[in-house]
């Protein structure tokens, strides 16, 4: 029985990431630190001045930053060819952050012909080094069958690795696959565990799917009041669009089955959960 309202075969969530932690050569570290500090405060002209000579000298972190700046037009003209050049230099020397972003450019066809096989190659290299983002993306490619043979078990393997490192996307997809029984035995209780972790970080999709589990009593006690609360939270955290509209429909469907007293309890429950998440410092609206 398919319960989860999410398409595990079409996760188009990949974004360029700026994971600012590098295994970089120590040479020129002072200039790199100055450039990084300038980049963080938005002083891109200073960052460029510091990074450029370091990047030309082979500093992997500086090469990554230059790639990122050209990819986003930060202090330089937007230029995907230049971004690709600097990412590739760092990626070929083993920097996971650059490998992930280079993979993304091939994955999306950003400034270059789309090439899923090439994307998978770079994701795999970074994933093998323990990069949780790369592990997640490589898992997505296996779930989708993009650039690699579709293999749910392989997807689950990579999602588990990234989820263990606290990657919220991996935790979400692991929960979805547990609920659908893709790549592992269907286990709604396990799904609920992962979805709760991600919901606590403000993820609307996790909240919506927790609503579904409570509405149907799968892995958790059937509880329409709690289902209504989770749907309400999902609506508050969704960006406008079809997913939010779907959560609105779910909430209204459940709300039509509640008495006025139950409805008030459900609304208060949603407020209490949201307050608790904010106190934990984890609720980050999408």
Summarize pLDDT for 154-204 with one digit per residue, the tens: 999 999 999 999 999 999 999 999 999 999 999 999 999 999 999 999 999
Strands (E), 83-177: none
- What is the model's pLDDT at position 21? 47
Domain with CATH 1.25.40.10 in the chain: 98-186
What is the sign, positive or negative, of the torsion defined by CA atoms of 140, 143, 144, 146?
Answer: positive
- What is the model's pLDDT at position 278? 87
d(CA 274, CA 276): 5
- What is the model's pLDDT at position 11? 35
Query: Are the CB atoms for 250 and 285 separated by under 8 Å?
Result: no
d(CA 106, CA 118): 6
CATH of 98-186, picked from 3.40.30.10, 1.25.40.10, 2.30.110.10, 3.40.50.300, is 1.25.40.10
Q: How many residues does the chain have?
A: 286
Low-confidence ranges of the chain (pLDDT < 70): 1-29, 282-286
d(CA 24, CA 150): 35
Count the neighbouring beta carbons within 10 Å of the beta carbon of residue 123: 32
- What is the model's pLDDT at position 280? 79
Q: Which of 201, 278, 209, 220 is nearest to 243 (CA)?
A: 209
Query: Are the CB atoms for 166 and 132 separated by under 8 Å?
Result: yes
- What is the model's pLDDT at position 202? 92
């Amino acid at each position: 029985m398919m319960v989860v309202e999410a398409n595990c075969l079409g996760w188009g969530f990949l974004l360029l990431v700026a994971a600012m932690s590098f295994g970089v050569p120590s040479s020129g570290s002072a200039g790199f630190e100055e450039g990084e500090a300038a980049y963080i405060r938005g002083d891109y002209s200073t960052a460029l001045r510091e990074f450029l000579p370091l990047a030309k000298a082979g500093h992997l972190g500086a090469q990554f930053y230059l790639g990122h700046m050209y990819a986003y037009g930060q202090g330089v003209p937007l230029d995907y060819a230049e971004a690709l050049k600097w990412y590739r230099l760092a990626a070929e020397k083993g920097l996971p952050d650059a490998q992930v972003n280079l993979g993304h450019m091939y994955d999306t066809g950003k400034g270059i012909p789309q090439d899923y096989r090439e994307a998978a190659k770079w994701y795999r290299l970074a994933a093998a080094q323990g990069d949780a983002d790369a592990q997640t993306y490589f898992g997505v490619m296996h779930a989708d069958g993009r650039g690699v043979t579709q293999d749910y078990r392989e997807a689950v393997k990579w999602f588990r690795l990234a989820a263990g490192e606290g990657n919220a996307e991996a935790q979400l997809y692991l929960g979805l696959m547990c609920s659908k029984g893709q790549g592992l035995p269907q286990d709604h209780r396990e799904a609920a565990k992962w979805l709760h972790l991600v919901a606590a970080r403000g993820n609307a999709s996790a909240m919506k799917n927790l609503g579904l589990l409570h509405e149907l009593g799968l892995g958790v006690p059937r509880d329409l009041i709690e289902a209504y609360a989770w749907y309400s939270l999902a609506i508050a955290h969704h960006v406008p669009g079809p997913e939010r509209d779907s959560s609105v429909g779910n909430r209204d469907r459940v709300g039509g089955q509640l008495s006025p007293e139950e409805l008030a309890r459900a609304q208060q429950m949603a407020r209490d959960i949201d307050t608790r998440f904010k106190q934990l410092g984890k609720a980050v609206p999408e």
